[in-house]
Amino acid sequence: MDRRTFLSGMATVSTVAIVGAVAAQLARSAQPSTLHTIEITEFRFSPSALNVRKGDRVKWINLDIVPHTATALNSNWDTGELKPNESAEIVVHEGHNGPYFCAYHPMMKAGLTVN
**Rule CB under 5 A: which residues touch Cu ion?**
68, 102, 104-105
Instruction: Give the nearest distance from C-beta 108 to Cu ion in angstroms.
Output: 5
Q: Residue 110 carries which side chain, given as an amino acid letter?
A: A
Contact between 30 and 11 (Cβ < 8 Å): yes
CA 96 to chain centre: 9
Instruction: Give the nearest distance from C-beta 78 to Cu ion in angstroms.
Output: 13
How far apart, in whole angstroms, are the C-alpha atoms of residue 104 and residue 66? Answer: 10
Choice between 90 and 102, CB closer to Cu ion = 102
Choice between 40 and 92, CB closer to Cu ion = 40
Choice between 15 and 37, CB closer to Cu ion = 37
How far apart, in whole angstroms, are the C-alpha atoms of residue 115 and residue 108? Answer: 23
Instruction: Give the nearest distance from C-beta 74 to Cu ion in angstroms.
Output: 18
